[in-house]
Amino acid sequence: MNQPPNILLLQCEDTGRHLGCYGDTYARTPHMDQLAREGVRYSKAYTHAPVCAPSRGGMVTGCYPWTIGNHHMRSTLSNPPRCFTHELVQAGYHVSWPTKLDFNFEPAPGWCCDQDPWWDKPPPGKPFFFYENFVLTHESRMFREPPEWHGSAFPCPEAFRHDPAQAPVPPCLPDLPELRRQIATYYDAVSAIDHQIGQRLKWLDDNGLRDSTMVILLSDHGRGLPREKRWCYEAGLHLPLIIRWPGHLPQDSLREHLVAWVDIAPTLLSVAGVGIPGHYQGNAFLGPKTTPPRPHVFAGRDRMDENFDKVRAAGDGRYLYLRNDTPGLPWAQWQAYMEQQPALPVMRSLHAGGRLRGHEAAFFGECKPPEELYDTTADPHQLHNLAGDPDHASTLDRLREALEANLDRFGDLGETDEAQLVRDGILTDRLAEYRQRSRENAPPAGTPLPGPPVAPMTLGEARPFARGT
């Protein structure tokens, strides 16, 4: 009997498809590009949440976060489900997870064998699953200007540093010096984690493990810019996925079928020859238990730290549908952590002074529409909402029905007030903590903000609008 493969899962933080292998000419990512040439690059891979804990929590459980209760950022499940790593440990794998968890729950005992840096040790002599999170691209690293955080500990070669004057500014955001520097710093960080990833791949080569190891490279959600991280647009959800599996996957190939992050857990178990739990909501896209390609991907967002919103989304790889269940709330709510980035306060000031126009101003609108629909092929930055266009009515209906069917099938605890989830024993009670944070992190007097002066905390306080109105 053939020995099951080793599995190496490398996860970038706050990183979109800003890699050379995805056609980004500003990026300098030689190691990730080489990995793509040696394996398969997926062009339609999506997370189910545009923020870390719900994204990661769904990935490790194989379940949409709003179906198990870890959909709010932050919240804590009272009775966490098993992770896919539980199944791997039980099947005899050595599981090492030395870096970030961030699932909105603490894994139950038995989820891993150790949390030691595997790259500093010899291999365990049995099939292994190793994980590493690469933190240098996290949005908090963009809060400070270089060279303060560029130093000897920051492994980005000088030749790979990015010129802010050449930084690609999304057309939905104003072209500001602060934003250009922020974007260039982000690309520097992507080059830095590319260097680190190259070191991890070299560890496999040095230990003679290249041919016996599947390598998976992905991200948790999009980068920390307005309309990217925290928002259910393409830039927040549509992510890199590269898999190298010698002898099983062709080199330098492209796969264009839809993949969702809830598919990662069943796929890894399928590849490992381990039984897939029946309650998983994703599909295996590799291994002996491969299922037909999925027709849609689904996503959502709920409370983000001290403020609330509720969005559900469905996509088919071309069209993206968003259902804003609290359309009375604006896009650009105040969120204290996010406000630390250099560009956003400048954007708020410019908008308040009437100096933003068109797409640059739209993000600061008073309230969202109940529904949004975008042709992401013709409109990659989602600037033109087609939800009211009669020529796209059938597409709107189709994606609306797909989303409803998915929520009906698996449920949506986002429709339940968070206080009730606490009373039901699904969540531990952290509402007082976040109300306190909301008071402490309130915007300074005079800060120009769209919409309600104080964002609500829970679904009950948000007074959601009826679906599809």
CATH number for position 109: 3.40.720.10
Whether 247 and 170 share a structural domain:
yes
Question: H helices of 140-253, where?
Answer: 177-206, 234-237
Q: Can you say whether residue 202 is alpha, beta or left, with left for phi > 0 and alpha for psi between -120 and 50 degrees?
A: alpha
| pTM of the complete model | 0.95
Name the domain boundary from 293, 309, 326. Answer: 293
How far CA 304 is from CA of 131, 161, 218, 282, in Å, comes to: 26, 32, 23, 24
| Residue 346 belongs to a domain | yes
User: Could you read off the pLDDT of 292-319 as tens digits, one per residue?
Assistant: 999 999 999 999 988 889 999 999 999 9
| Residue 78 belongs to a domain | yes
Question: What b/e readout covers 62-86, taking b as 16+ CB neighbours within 10 angstroms?
Answer: bbbbbbbbbbbbbbbbeebbbbbbb
| Residue 469 belongs to a domain | no
| Residue 468 belongs to a domain | no
Whether 335 and 313 share a structural domain:
yes
Whether 332 and 273 share a structural domain:
no
How far CA 171 is from CA of 116, 209, 267, 382, in Å, comes to: 43, 44, 36, 10
What's the CA gap between 410 and 408, in Å, rounded?
Answer: 6
Name the domain boundary from 249, 265, 293. Answer: 293
Whether 274 and 339 share a structural domain:
no
**Residue-averaged pLDDT of the chain:** 93
Whether 344 and 250 share a structural domain:
no
Contacts of 261 (CB under 8 A, 6+ apart): 45, 46, 47, 48, 55, 58, 59, 218, 282
pLDDT of res. 468: 42
Lowest mean pLDDT among 142-156, 216-230, 300-314: 142-156
pLDDT of res. 1: 47
**Average pLDDT, stretch 81-107?**
96
Distance of alpha carbon 165 from its chain centroid, rounded? 28
Whose tokens are 């339609």? That residue is: 44
Q: Total domain count for the chain?
A: 2
What's the CA gap between 47 and 65, in Å, rounded?
Answer: 11
Tell me the three-class secondary structure of 294-327, residue by residue: ECCEEEEECCECCECCCEEEEECCCEEEEEECCC
Whether 272 and 133 share a structural domain:
yes
Whether 148 and 256 share a structural domain:
yes
User: Could you read off the pLDDT of 370-396 as tens digits, one per residue?
Assistant: 999 999 999 999 999 999 999 999 999
**Average pLDDT, stretch 167-195?**
95
Whether 276 and 307 share a structural domain:
no
Whose tokens are 């560029």? That residue is: 150
What's the CA gap between 218 and 52, in Å, rounded?
Answer: 13
Is residue 190 within 8 Å of residue 13, measured between CB atoms?
Answer: no
Domain encompassing residue 453: 300-462
**Average pLDDT, stretch 254-278?**
98
Helix (H) or strand (E) holding 233: none
Length of the chain (residues): 469
pLDDT of res. 447: 87
Distance of alpha carbon 375 from its chain centroid, rounded? 21
pLDDT of res. 469: 41
**Average pLDDT, stretch 400-422?**
97
Describe the crossing of helices 343-352 and 177-206 by its angle, rounded to 10 degrees.
150
Torsion of CA 187, 191, 192, 197, to 10 degrees: 130
User: Could you read off the pLDDT of 4-47 as tens digits, one per residue?
Assistant: 999 999 999 999 999 999 999 999 999 999 999 999 999 999 99
Query: Between these two residues, 154 and 405, which has the higher pLDDT value?
Result: 405
Token code pair at residue 443 = 């915007």
| Residue 1 belongs to a domain | no
| Residue 14 belongs to a domain | yes
| CATH number of the domain encompassing residue 361 | 3.30.1120.10
Q: Can you say whether residue 367 is alpha, beta or left, with left for phi > 0 and alpha for psi between -120 and 50 degrees?
A: beta
| Residue 156 belongs to a domain | yes
| Residue 215 belongs to a domain | yes
User: Could you read off the pLDDT of 335-351 as tens digits, one per residue?
Assistant: 999 999 999 999 999 99
Whether 225 and 323 share a structural domain:
no
Whether 77 and 142 share a structural domain:
yes
**Average pLDDT, stretch 84-113?**
96
- The widest CA-to-CA distance across the chain, in whole angstroms, is 70
Name the domain boundary from 242, 270, 293. Answer: 293
Whether 285 and 352 share a structural domain:
no
Is residue 262 within 8 Å of residue 59, measured between CB atoms?
Answer: yes
Whose tokens are 């104080």? That residue is: 454
Helix (H) or strand (E) holding 464: none
Count other Cβ atoms within 10 Å, centred on residue 374.
24
Whether 158 and 127 share a structural domain:
yes
**Of residues 199, 207, 248, the one with CA closest to residue 38:** 248
Count other Cβ atoms within 10 Å, centred on residue 465.
16
User: Could you read off the pLDDT of 151-167 as tens digits, one per residue?
Assistant: 666 787 778 889 999 99
